[in-house]
A = this chain, B = another copy of it.
């Protein structure tokens, strides 16, 4: 495997060699040593793809929508990479059979590359590996990259931080009560998709979303930034610029209905970002957040390396017996490693 040099592998990926790409994605997922060198060499060749994040609660039909969206882009002649982020589950083995069956429609098409990534329960690791995987697909020449994740929680904030356009998927019968907005996912949406729009109650869902958009929108200069999941500290670069109001698009993904409207809405958002020159500000903030994440991971890794198992076990025991508080244990550990280069 490692008989091939990093540079050779980079060339293979840039040529779009599927086997090399598949192996690289596996190594990214497994955090294999040496993969960083390949990613570093690939990085200058990235930045061409449009990355679309798709998130939403279970039951909204996200995976079917991703498949339908991929088909729509293929019909436009665009190549599509798909990353489906699965929370690792000892029960399911990470990948969900049902999704894979749906996505089978796309197999055999060399203009499509599908990849499931498991989270492995690693803190922060998912954001990094998903981002790296998207870059690998980008470097390999895929024009549209769809990144799907389960809604609510950190994973969808992560996705908004790496995507250019974030779709939040709702469905009638799930989203009509007040609970549905609890996940707070509306503010990361660039486009709201009401899937399963042939179901009863679709009007209620659409109306509820509209009301929420009206309630939340015109108030804040910082809202644009938060739409892109890049926190609220970023200010709108130009106050005279009109705000982006997330359009609401209705789809019936399993019948391929509404997909033209959806790709058009995504295209409008893309045009908005380039017209308004907000793209640079958002990308810069995304990179800043990425660097922080990577720094955090590196620092804790170094700490763990310099920490002896006994020292940690002793600290845990003292906290467990309530002799010291966790806050004090942290101070003790930091002091004990201080002399040893951490």
In the complex, the answer to whether A312 meets B288 with C-beta atoms within 8 Å is: yes
Chain-B contact segment, one of A14-22, A66-74, A179-187, A263-271: A179-187
Chain B: minimal CB distance from A42 (Å): 8
In the complex, the answer to whether A295 meets B303 with C-beta atoms within 8 Å is: yes
| Minimal Cβ-Cβ distance residue in B for A292 | B300
Chain-B contact segment, one of A107-115, A234-242, A249-257, A329-337: A329-337
Chain B CB within 8 A of A203 CB: no
In the complex, the answer to whether A91 meets B181 with C-beta atoms within 8 Å is: yes
In the complex, the answer to whether B152 meets A150 with C-beta atoms within 8 Å is: yes
Since A283-B320, A294-B330 are in contact, a sample of 19 more A-B pairs with Cβ atoms closer than 8 Å, ordered by chain A residue number, is A39-B325, A40-B328, A46-B322, A58-B182, A58-B183, A59-B175, A61-B179, A90-B187, A90-B219, A98-B177, A119-B184, A121-B231, A123-B124, A150-B152, A152-B153, A152-B183, A280-B320, A287-B316, A291-B319
What's the dominant secondary structure at chain A's contact region?
helix
| Minimal Cβ-Cβ distance residue in B for A231 | B121
| Minimal Cβ-Cβ distance residue in B for A299 | B299
- 10 shortest A-B CB distances, which residue pairs? A153-B153, A91-B216, A87-B184, A98-B178, A43-B325, A154-B154, A89-B184, A299-B299, A40-B325, A152-B152
Chain B: minimal CB distance from A321 (Å): 10
In the complex, the answer to whether A322 meets B47 with C-beta atoms within 8 Å is: yes
A119 neighbours in B (Cβ, 8 Å)? 184
In the complex, the answer to whether A294 meets B326 with C-beta atoms within 8 Å is: yes
| Minimal Cβ-Cβ distance residue in B for A173 | B173
A231 neighbours in B (Cβ, 8 Å)? 121
Contact with B along A83-96 (1 / 0, CB 8 A): 00011111110001
Chain B CB within 8 A of A27 CB: no
Number of identical protomers: 2
A323 neighbours in B (Cβ, 8 Å)? 44
In this complex, how many residues of chain A approach chain B with their Cβ under 8 Å: the count is: 95
Where the two chains meet, the residues of A that have a C-beta atom closer than 8 Å to any C-beta of B are 36, 39-41, 43-44, 46-47, 57-63, 86-92, 96-99, 119, 121, 123-124, 150-157, 173-175, 177-184, 186-187, 212, 215-216, 219-220, 222-223, 226, 231-232, 280, 283-284, 287-288, 290-296, 298-300, 303-304, 312, 315-317, 319-320, 322-330, 333-334
The 8 Å CB contact of A315, one of B121, B216, B291, is B291
In the complex, the answer to whether A322 meets B43 with C-beta atoms within 8 Å is: yes
The winner among A212, A300, A323 for most chain B CB atoms within 10 A is A300
Could you tell me the distance between the alpha carbons of A223 and B89 in the complex, rounded to whole angstroms?
11
In the complex, the answer to whether A39 meets B327 with C-beta atoms within 8 Å is: yes
In the complex, the answer to whether B295 meets A333 with C-beta atoms within 8 Å is: yes
Chain B: minimal CB distance from A233 (Å): 10
Given A181-B96, A325-B40, decide whether A91 and B187 contact each other with a Cβ distance below 8 A.
yes
In the complex, the answer to whether A92 meets B184 with C-beta atoms within 8 Å is: yes
